[in-house]
Chain A
Amino acid sequence: MVLGSGEKLSIYVDSKVFGSSVHGEMLRCGDCHSEKTGYPHDSKPFSSRRDLAVAYYEQCKSCHFANYTKTLDGVHYAVMAKGNLAAALCVDCHGSHDIRRASEPRTRISQTCSHCHAPVYQTYSASVHGKAAEEGNPDVPVCTDCHRAHDILDPRDGSLALRTPEICGRCHVNGKLMQKYGLSTKVVDTYLKDFHGMSASLQRVSKPDRRVFAAVCTDCHGVHDIQSSSDPKAHTIKANLVQTCRKCHAGATRNFPDSWLSHYEPTPHKAATVWAVQLFYTLIIPFVVGGLILQIALHLWRVVVNR
């Protein structure tokens, strides 16, 4: 049938395709097309294919209420509400008559997003996570692991970047998982203890404005183009580090990257100066404060005795 926009809409549904979809054995046509009660149908005047899809957005709600509600908090819904009808609806990711499990196989998730987000997908699939995912590695994140599936955060206002210590930390503090790849689980902790982590933590509490934010994971490691820090392309490999620092520290010179301890905890072998200063204060603070408290106690005792 021809729609108002001149687009053709096939009203034929392959019963085999529908039958093998997840709903094949559960739903009948009228469950979703509930307004079509008789024949011939009271045909709704859809002006375009997109109008039709938007009109059917609500149909999934009656069964998938939880996920539908989540989409109302998502960036796609927000964009749609502002009038951009191209924003993804249920059927854009899941399909309509041919719905299969979205995560089977797992790589299908990122491929689904790539239908609209092709350039980002290209970058991602060349990253350390993306390459492994393509090889069928179940340990690495696909799009939805960081962005979430239904209540996708708007990445533009910085609230997602702000949460990266937590998001990346979900995997990167997992001892079992990191051991498999010879990675340290102290990355989040060492980050949080450093100036960047401390600043970002406090900024998150008081003023969620990305423009003045201290560096989070993605500022140094990259977002979709994260590479292993031994990869020559990595932003965090020694040879590229000054460039990475200069993104925020305009005057950074060759020595400057050493002011960041690369997620290491200071030891006599790594960052010995920092370790020594720390040790000095660990000893001197209890000594000085304890000594003063002792002297106060002795003085008070003397006052009592003299009375």
Chain B
Amino acid sequence: MTEYVVRFSARQRAEHLTTMVLFTLLCLTGLPQKFYTSGWAHALIHLFGGIDRARWIHRCCGWSLGAVTAFHAAMGIAAVVQKRSHLPIAISRGDFEDAVATIRYYLGLRESGPLHDRFDYKQKFEYWALLVGNVLMVLTGIVLIYPTVLSRFLPGELVPAAKVAHSNEGLMAFLVITIWHIYNAHLNPDVFPIDTCIFTGRISRDRMMHEHPLELARLESPTEAGSRERVRAPREVA
């Protein structure tokens, strides 16, 4: 029987699921507005019952994603302030070194890849790109919903600038998710056909050893775990 380790809490899994659904809906209702001349865009808009309905859905999802992001950030900040977490997702100098080492390993210039802790550099960069992207998308989105409000205080030219940013940032997010995230979560030979960890919350001990050996070592050594990661007691499930 495979041994499992708990990797994600119920709240983290719920956050991922909500973000996934909202992100998909935002892409489906947003991208047709960017590529409004193509046939597929018309078909999609038609599917949602017209541009006005699609735009309504887009805005509801946008507000919701904003709320989820704000909630997530608030919980993260609270955990750091109360010293329950030392923010394992934070990017450090070591992540850049890991990135270089990984590329060197891929190119055959190193015997093996670097050993990762709770999150590897790819996960960290994707996380921060998503977080910063969400904030940018929500802020520029609000400007586009209320263009007259912004121009009461700031130059009107920021409205079309927000539109260009929203449109391009949205496209970039879509491309990063469809290419990078889908590869890492589905097509990557290590996890093919699907990495279920973020949905079930558990990961096999074998994968932990392979992908997050530093975290596993800490989890399994009581003294280390006690000193470095107070909250995360190892819990094994069948």
Contacts and interface: CB of A to CB of B under 8 A. Distances in A.
B27 interface: no
B189 interface: yes
Interface in B150-200: 151-152, 154-161, 163-165, 168-169, 171-172, 175-176, 179-180, 183, 188-189
Interface string B27-45: 0000011001100011001
A202 interface: yes
Interface string A212-244: 100000000000000000000000000000000
B99 to A, nearest CB: 9
Interface stretch (B4-12, B78-86, B89-97, B105-113): B105-113
A258 interface: yes
Nearest to A272: B157
A281 interface: yes
B147 interface: yes
A278 interface: yes
For chain A, what secondary structure do more than half of its interface residues adopt (helix, strand, loop), or is it mixed?
A: helix
A81 B92 CA distance: 78
User: By CB atoms of chain A within 10 A, which of B46, B156, B188 has the most?
Assistant: B156
A168 B160 CA distance: 24
Contact of B107 (A252, A256, A298): A298
Interface residues of B, number: 45
B37 A201 contact: yes
Nearest to B184: A296
A207 B152 CA distance: 32
Interface stretch (A59-67, A127-135, A283-291): A283-291
B50 interface: yes
Interface size class of A (residues with CB under 8 A): 35 or more
B100 interface: no
B149 interface: yes
Contact of A278 (B49, B159, B164, B183): B164
Nearest to A297: B106
B148 A249 contact: yes
Contacts of A195: 144, 163
Interface string A267-292: 00001011001100100110011001
B50 A251 contact: no
Given A206-B46, A257-B156, A293 B179 contact: yes
A170 B125 CA distance: 50
B51 interface: yes
Contacts of A260: 156, 160
Contacts of B147: 249, 256, 259
A284 B179 CA distance: 16
B156 A207 contact: no
A283 to B, nearest CB: 11
A18 to B, nearest CB: 54
A303 B191 CA distance: 13
A187 to B, nearest CB: 16
User: By CB atoms of chain B within 10 A, which of A203, A271, A284, A292 has the most?
Assistant: A292
A97 B235 CA distance: 101
A274 B148 CA distance: 17
Contacts of B52: 203, 207, 212
Contact of B183 (A212, A277, A281, A296): A296
Interface string A179-212: 0000000000000001100110111011100001
Interface in A121-164: none
User: By CB atoms of chain B within 10 A, which of A202, A285, A289 has the most?
Assistant: A202
Contact of B36 (A202, A266, A305): A202
Interface string B114-134: 000000000000000000000
Given A259-B157, A260-B160, 4 more contacts: A194-B160, A202-B36, A274-B157, A285-B168
25 contacts: A202-B33, A202-B36, A202-B41, A205-B45, A206-B49, A206-B50, A207-B52, A249-B147, A252-B151, A255-B156, A256-B156, A257-B156, A258-B151, A258-B156, A259-B147, A259-B156, A260-B156, A261-B157, A273-B157, A274-B157, A277-B161, A281-B165, A281-B169, A281-B172, A302-B105
6 closest A-B pairs (Cβ-Cβ)?
A: A258-B156, A259-B159, A281-B168, A206-B50, A259-B156, A298-B106
